[in-house]
Structure 1
Amino acid sequence: MNSNVDLFSARVPRYTSYPTAPHFHAGIGQNELKQWLAGLPTGLPLSLYVHIPFCDTLCWFCGCHTTVVNRYSPVSSYLNDLFTEIANIGPYLKGHPVTHLHWGGGSPTMLTPDDVRNLKGALTRHFEFAPDAEFAVEIDPRGLKDDLIATLGECGLTRASIGVQDFAPQVQKAINRIQPFDETKRVVDALRAAGVASLNIDLIYGLPYQTRENVARTIELSLSLKPQRFAVFGYAHVPHFKKHMQLIKTETLPDAAERFAQFELAHSLISAAGYAAIGLDHFALPDDSLAVAAKAGTLARNFQGYTSDDAPALIGLGASSISALPQGYVQNKPEVPEWRKAIEVGELPVARGIALSDEDKLRRAIIEKLMCFLEVDLARFGKTPEDFPREMEALAPLMAEGFVVRNGTVLSVPASARAAVRLVASVFDTYLATSKAVHAVAV
């Protein structure tokens, strides 16, 4: 167990993309994006991600690109520019049905009911939505009013992703997010009454003052809400990157052994309640589309985590959002003023990106298979383990620990060792050795 814990302390990417965002560069701009969009085959399905980079309070654990505001005017101004961005990019995407729409942040639920309608209306005018398109929104239950919930239901919300993290008062105080269970339950009940059929609950382990008892109690309360899905993330303490994390003292954080124990406990309790384990850190009821996709082999992974949406192109809208296309990735300008300037002159507000080589595409596919299914058959790509001598050498200590098993051309992570899957995937990352980014610990 001691050697396991040492390995889990390694810092590796979460692999929501490959190559990962630290390797994007300014050599990719709006001209490349326009060429890539023009190269999409007619009829190719799309996903849309809309970023709302504002919150009314700052959660100290948060790694998102967001700004705290105490007035609504910056949000209203941002939305006006967002409507322009939608209108600017819409003509490039005619003939492409949108199968998935996700609003993230920040806090999309900061929007007023009228602006929820306005944003959904702008998207509907400029994009062609499939009749069965999924519409998901990240929900902050704190202070969420019934009229906004009703408006989300009227606008066709199909899935709400509800941030919980931990229900223990001491932990909530330490992360500056006071969220009583009763308030969360009120929002869950109201969402269901508004016709939202699918609910996801986000939990975090490895938080300050968090214990296994906290984790168990939080899961017990969360299970009583009967969500269709869970996502259980490890807290990434990166105070050098997110300065507000300096408010969380390192000595209050669980050590590597306790983090691993919290991960294992969460997995066992949620699985025992009848949820299928999905990839590294998601869970879904057997009839949920995520579990169905995992069983069918169509599960995918993107910047929102695991998804049943298999659209080949994801278009990001809003400051800092990332688009993932068959040809590569582009990221919008992260700061709102620069993003706004580009939009005002009719540009697509690209800051940086990366074009995918054939080698990148191969390794992206290998990493995604491992992250989604804990297994990859290299023969599917016309390869054998012998084609990856450096990688097989790097896998040797993980094989010795039982974290990965080779059977012919198949490499698999046993279900009991799923916590190691990011470590295994990182072996195929040719960019990692030269990366200056500091990633989160593996577990």
Structure 2
Amino acid sequence: MTDSRRAGETAPRYTSYPTAPHFHAGVRGRQVRTWMQTIPAGEAMSLYVHIPFCDRLCWFCACHTKHTLRYEPVTEYLDVLFDEIRLAGSHVPAGVVVRALHFGGGSPTMLKPADLTQLSRLLRDTFAFADDAEISVEIDPNDISEETLDALAAIRMTRASLGIQDFDPRVQRAINREQSFETTSTVIKGLRRRGVGSVNLDLVYGLPHQTVAGIAATVAQVLTLAPDRIALFGYAHVPWFKKHQTMIKEAWLPDTEQRIAQSRRAAELILEAGYTPIGLDHFARPDDSLAKAATTGRLRRNFQGYTDDNCETLIGFGPSSISRYRQGYAQNTPAMGEYQRLVAGGTLPVSRGFVLSNEDRARAWVIERLMCDFSFSGREAVRLFGDVGHRIVEEARGVAGTEPDLLEQVGDLFSIRADSRPLARIAASKFDPYLSRGEARHSVAV
């Protein structure tokens, strides 16, 4: 049984380590250009393209996006985005191969079909793509037309990710995200007809006016859509970070006990339907590549969440996007004007980042394994990281001794107890010395 007191504690989501609040202005475009130029030829990498626009603003959302009802700002942005892609392409060595491409936002499907296909064509003209590259797109079903579906097929999309959150009309009104089951079903059928082999559906618990019975009803509807993957996120109420979340009154939100009950009931129903649990909050069909990665110890975690993408390099395009290199992290400026100015000047639009030390890499590995596998091997930590690994193993012994509800040691393995797995973010935070040095506020752990 999850400890509700601990579930109400806050912790980072650990889609990177160190986490983004610890990035600093000491990393800029010139340094990142060198990082790009030293990617080994023949290596595989991933790309992320950020579309920071929505034609409606969902009040629960914590993404970097802008609301617009006019398409002119999107057109102007695409011109700059294209220049950034060309600029990066001039620095990446020949022979580096793209294995995965993710379009996120915002709402990538807000793009006109012709613009979407032109963007894809530019990426393929600039970088070498593997024949079996995974192309994933975040989709707002309310934006989708038959022409958009055709464009998604034309860019060779292999995975669609659709946001649902909850089908209860009262909850949808409270988060400004009205979307019918019928609309969602129609889009999924259109994707399947065009050969899209994998569909992921996003659900959220802890939303305003949400109940256990309500989320159970939503899950039942979702299961009739036969998704290949399901993500079950806890709503992160961070109005100090995203001002539009002030539109959601805190009195409307379920308390910690209710959040736990909603999460548990939704997970039970998904598991009963035969899905494999993936990390904290994902589920997949047993034959899905994510499930196979989880069962073979190859599950990874990056800025898009759980993934089977094992590329060391991830280059992000667009304002606020984060890139990962062997040397460290680099984040583009979130300010559109500054982004445009830097790209126009022929400079990578990086405003901050983080250079990784060996200790950072060791702690990143431990945190990723706890978030993905709920355990890590002390022997493996020492083999990979030497003296730093030794020190972290000693820390782990201390955590296991003083907080056995979070971590236990059995032989060489340090594991999160089965009934405490929802607290994995808190367990991971025990190996994050930067956490106490910053002033960032985080969402609740469950």
The normalised TM-score by structure 1 is 0.97
Tell me whether 1:409 sits opposite 2:412 in the alignment: yes
Partner of 1:189: 189
Tell me whether 1:429 sits opposite 2:432 in the alignment: yes
SS at match of 1:269: helix
The one-letter amino acid of 2:304's match is Q
- How many Å separate the matches in 2 of 1:387 and 1:185? 48
Partner of 1:298: 298
Partner of 2:269: 269
Displacement of 1:391: 5.0
The one-letter amino acid of 1:283's match is F
* 1:151-300 matched pairs, under 5 angstroms: 151-300=151-300
Identical counterparts, % of pairs: 48
Displacement of 1:326: 1.1
Asked if structure 2 preserves the Cα contact closer than 8 Å seen for 1:278 and 1:291, the reply is: yes
Asked if structure 2 preserves the Cα contact closer than 8 Å seen for 1:385 and 1:392, the reply is: no
Partner of 1:311: 311
* 1:35-54 matched pairs, under 5 angstroms: 35-54=34-53
* 1:338-377 matched pairs, under 5 angstroms: 338-377=338-377
Partner of 1:57: 56
Partner of 1:30: 29
- How many Å separate the matches in 2 of 1:266 and 1:12? 22
State the Cα deviation string for residues 14-60 of structure 1 (Å, max 9, x = none).
Answer: 00000000000000101211121222221111000000000000100
State the Cα deviation string for residues 110-139 of structure 1 (Å, max 9, x = none).
Answer: 000100110000100001000110000000
Asked if structure 2 preserves the Cα contact closer than 8 Å seen for 1:46 and 1:311, the reply is: yes
- How many Å separate the matches in 2 of 1:394 and 1:253? 33
The farther-off stretch of 281-290 and 380-389 is 380-389
Partner of 2:3: 4
> 5+ residue gaps in structure 1?
none
SS at match of 1:196: coil
SS at match of 2:254: coil
- How many Å separate the matches in 2 of 1:309 and 1:47? 8
Displacement of 1:385: 7.5
SS at match of 1:230: strand
SS at match of 2:267: helix
- How many Å separate the matches in 2 of 1:29 and 1:330? 8
Cα gap change, 1:386 to 1:78, in 2 (>3 Å): closer
Asked if structure 1 preserves the Cα contact closer than 8 Å seen for 2:381 and 2:393, the reply is: no
The one-letter amino acid of 1:426's match is S
- How many Å separate the matches in 2 of 1:17 and 1:140? 26
Partner of 1:420: 423
- How many Å separate the matches in 1 of 2:228 and 2:192? 12
The one-letter amino acid of 1:25's match is H
- How many Å separate the matches in 1 of 2:402 and 2:267? 25
Cα gap change, 1:387 to 1:153, in 2 (>3 Å): closer
- How many Å separate the matches in 1 of 2:191 and 2:160? 8
SS at match of 2:371: helix
Displacement of 1:418: 1.9
* 1:131-146 matched pairs, under 5 angstroms: 131-146=131-146
Asked if structure 2 preserves the Cα contact closer than 8 Å seen for 1:322 and 1:329, the reply is: yes
Displacement of 1:388: 4.8
- How many Å separate the matches in 1 of 2:84 and 2:427? 39
The normalised TM-score by structure 2 is 0.96
- How many Å separate the matches in 2 of 1:388 and 1:436? 27
Aligned length: 440
- How many Å separate the matches in 2 of 1:157 and 1:387? 41
- How many Å separate the matches in 2 of 1:232 and 1:112? 30
Asked if structure 1 preserves the Cα contact closer than 8 Å seen for 2:44 and 2:98, the reply is: yes
Displacement of 1:405: 2.1
- How many Å separate the matches in 1 of 2:434 and 2:398? 17
- How many Å separate the matches in 2 of 1:34 and 1:191? 38
Displacement of 1:12: 0.4
- How many Å separate the matches in 2 of 1:242 and 1:368? 27
Partner of 1:74: 73
SS at match of 1:347: coil
- How many Å separate the matches in 1 of 2:246 and 2:398? 38
- How many Å separate the matches in 2 of 1:4 and 1:90? 49
- How many Å separate the matches in 2 of 1:387 and 1:64? 33
Asked if structure 1 preserves the Cα contact closer than 8 Å seen for 2:343 and 2:349, the reply is: yes
Cα gap change, 1:219 to 1:440, in 2 (>3 Å): same
- How many Å separate the matches in 2 of 1:394 and 1:381? 16
- How many Å separate the matches in 1 of 2:31 and 2:378? 31
> 5+ residue gaps in structure 2?
none
Displacement of 1:397: 5.3
The one-letter amino acid of 2:336's match is V
- For the aligned residues, what is the CA RMSD? 1.4
Displacement of 1:428: 0.4
- How many Å separate the matches in 2 of 1:259 and 1:287? 30
The one-letter amino acid of 1:58's match is L
Asked if structure 2 preserves the Cα contact closer than 8 Å seen for 1:395 and 1:427, the reply is: no
- How many Å separate the matches in 1 of 2:31 and 2:365? 23
SS at match of 1:334: coil
